[in-house]
Structure 1
Amino acid sequence: MVKKLPPLILLGRGTFSLKQFRADCYEAARTLHARVLEVKGSDYHSYSVCNMQLPAYHKCNSINVTILRNGNYPIIGFSSTQEAPFIFLDVPRLQEVFEALGYEVWSKEYLETDPIEEHITDLTPQEIEDYNYWRPNQIGQMVFNFYD
């Protein structure tokens, strides 16, 4: 079964509060004993970002993770890069915390999926136009984009 993308997910400059996302990032950092490096939004992207340094874990050094939050939906993805093209990753400890805060965390596997017709059937005409123009090759490129 294909998970359809909801309407307005590509436009992403809508209803969500950067202030709430910032508060949630700091709550996640407190829970995990991590450090928030930066939280920022943009009028030119369909997402906001939180750069976080996670502490050493299970014989691994600390790692920096970029948390991507869609602008219209409480959808989160994790990346090892701070800017596009994103390299998506799964961070189970961080996923648990954000899901407890009410977010839907999309997996690396799903974000790297090639979009097909069934994914985009519920998108708005403007989003279909953007999709056809930009031709993203991953779901993640659609959900966390900088289309103008």
Structure 2
Amino acid sequence: MRLERGATGFRDRGEAELPRTDPAAFRGACWEAARRAGGTVGGPGGAGAAGFLSATIRCGAREHVVLCHPHLRLVAFADAPVVPGGPVPVFTDPPGWSEAFEVLGFGCLTADELGTPVSEADLGALSRAEHAQIRHWRPDTVGELLFNSWD
């Protein structure tokens, strides 16, 4: 799996700004996905989780936590909200209605992709600052690297 510049959320001083995922586009994609699933959109899936955007989509008794990368148009699904300062949640495969995100330009990551060891990922596009953050925080998986709350 190849990770693109901005995957960690850090950049080198003097380097161009990282792209930003538009929160309104993410919210709109959540509403479209909920409509397709016959569900509703709830509040943030992890209050205070500043490293990424999050929401919940409720379908009947089931609640899906959706995480959105702040710089890359990538979404992941988790089995529980992120607790600020806590461990990365257990990632789940995208539900059937997740194609709504893809139609609107977001990539949906699978549990296997997110569980890929960082040592097996292609980090060639990342900046020196990103490599330094990886060495410092030592994420085990691609999911921990992409959906982090590093400061």
Asked if TM exceeds 0.5, the reply is: yes
SS of 1:131's equivalent? helix
> Are 2:32 and 1:27 equivalent residues in the alignment?
yes
Q: Is the 8 A contact 2:88 2:148 kept in 1?
A: no
Aligned residue-pair number: 140
Structure 2 CA distance for partners of 1:123 and 1:41, relative to 1, 3 Å: farther
| Percent of residue pairs identical | 23
Q: 2 CA distance for matches of 1:42 and 1:132?
A: 27
Report the CA distance shift for 1:20/1:53 in structure 2 as closer, same or farther (over 3 A): same
1:54 aligned onto 2:52? no
Which of 127, 131, 134 lines up with 1:131 in the alignment?
134
In the aligned structure 2, how far is the partner of 1:76 from the partner of 1:127? 20
Aligned to 1:58: none
Q: Which whole-Å CA distance do the structure 2 matches of 1:63 and 1:105 have between them?
A: 19
- Runs of 4+ aligned structure 1 residues displaced above 4 Å come to 40-44
**Aligned counterpart, 2:67:** 68
Per the normalisation by structure 2, the TM-score is 0.82
Give the structure 1 partner of residue 110 of structure 2.
107
Structure 1 distance, partners of 2:134, 2:21, is: 22
Cα distance, 1:4 vs structure 2 = 1.4
Post-superposition Cα deviations, 1:26-67, rounded to whole Å, max 9, x if no partner, equal 121112111111147989633100111123xxxxxx311110
Q: Give CA-to-partner distance per residue, 1:12-31, whole Å, 9 cap, x none.
A: 77411112211221121112
- Bigger shift: residues 64-73 or 97-106: 97-106
Q: 1:55-100 CA distances to partner (integer Å, 9 max, x unpaired)? A: 3xxxxxx311110110111101100111142110013313222112
Structure 2: stretches of 5+ with no match in the other structure: 11-17
In structure 2, the partner of 1:93 is 96
Give the TM-score normalised by structure 1.
0.84
In 1, Cα distance between the equivalents of 2:39 and 2:134? Answer: 36
Rounded Cα–Cα distance in structure 2 between residues aligned with 1:118 and 1:97: 27
* Comparing 12-21 and 132-141, the one that deviates more: 12-21
Q: Does the C-alpha gap of structure 1 residues 140 and 134 become closer, same or farther in structure 2, counting only changes over 3 Å?
A: same
